[in-house]
Amino acid sequence: MGLDHSLVGVSSEPQERSWDSKDALLYAVGVGAGLGDPLKELEFTTENCEGIEQQVLPTFAVLVAQGRSGRRLGDFNRAMLVHAEQYFELHKPLPVQGTVRTTSTVTGIYDKGSGALVVTENTAVDAATGETLVTSRGGTFIRGEGGFGGPRGIDPPWVLPDRAPDFEVVQETRPEQALLYRLSGDRNPLHVDPKFAARGGFSQPILHGLCTYGVTGRALLSALCDGDPARFRSMYGRFSRPVLPGEPLTVSIWLNDDRESAVFQTTRKDGAVVIDRGRITLTQAPGPR
């Protein structure tokens, strides 16, 4: 059957999703908060430390805006599906607990030759007030589903600066990182089952792309926002290589001239780029180094 192209432009019914303090804490640990220094990021990993108010990592917005009961995209080998790209915009900082109603729309199915890129946009509004909280866009690449003659899509301009990065942050990951991250909701066996991973062409289970994204988000939050989620507006990244749990990641960041936006790349220890064409916008420029 292949992919169902009739889904393009069709919005889902609103889906309700709630989270609480425990969900935010579990997500923070799942993307490496507290690793190596359990006293360093207490505002994201604890809720009852004297003088410290719990906050929520900005990248948790991607999970908040996910629909729980996604539509079938068609019949294909699930082992050939990988997360290709992710964008989100925060319209206000995330509360420690809340409920949203999310509407999801498949905005395009693009022919990339070796596979198809399915792009979905989600809008999450506060269930009590109707105020927009998160807008997110995600791209899923399905190997073997290309060649149908559709549009390829247009990439926004992005240039790697020809200078040393303004910031470079090394983030460790745990060998068991995928086991922790999956508890936030993504139970795809690609990240834990060696036999399933082998069917997708991987030598062993790989780390969730959104976990790498969250680790990267923590680096950006620290380097550009002094750890303050209210200064973090939006983030985009393209997943270009797999990451194995336990691999350290380096986030290289170049500020733009306006100092309220930057571009970044995330690399493995061997230098391979794992998140490419990264962009972040801020509500406030970072202070002097």
Q: Catalytic positions, please?
A: 186, 191
DSSP, collapsed to helix, strand or coil, labels residue 103 as: strand
For residue 107, which of 76, 138, 70 has the smallest C-alpha distance?
138
Number of other residues whose CB lies within 10 A of the CB of residue 26:
16
For residue 219, which of 171, 175, 262 has the smallest C-alpha distance?
171
Report the largest interatomic distance among the alpha carbons of the chain, rounded to a whole angstrom: 60
Contact by Cβ (8 Å): 280, 220: yes
Q: Rounded distance, CA 27 to CA 44, Å?
A: 9
Pairing of strands 74-75, 2-3: antiparallel
Two tokens, residue 182: 């999956």
Two tokens, residue 20: 């609480």
Conformational region of residue 32, where left means phi above 0, alpha means psi within -120 to 50, and beta covers everything else: left
CB contact set of 39 (below 8 Å; sequence gap of 6+):
none
**Hey, what long-range contacts does 116-119 have (CB within 8 A, 24 or more apart)?**
116/3, 116/141, 116/142, 116/145, 116/146, 116/148, 116/150, 117/84, 117/141, 117/153, 118/3, 118/73, 118/142, 119/153
Q: Exposed, middle or buried by CB within 10 Å (0-12, 13-18, 19+), for 121?
A: middle
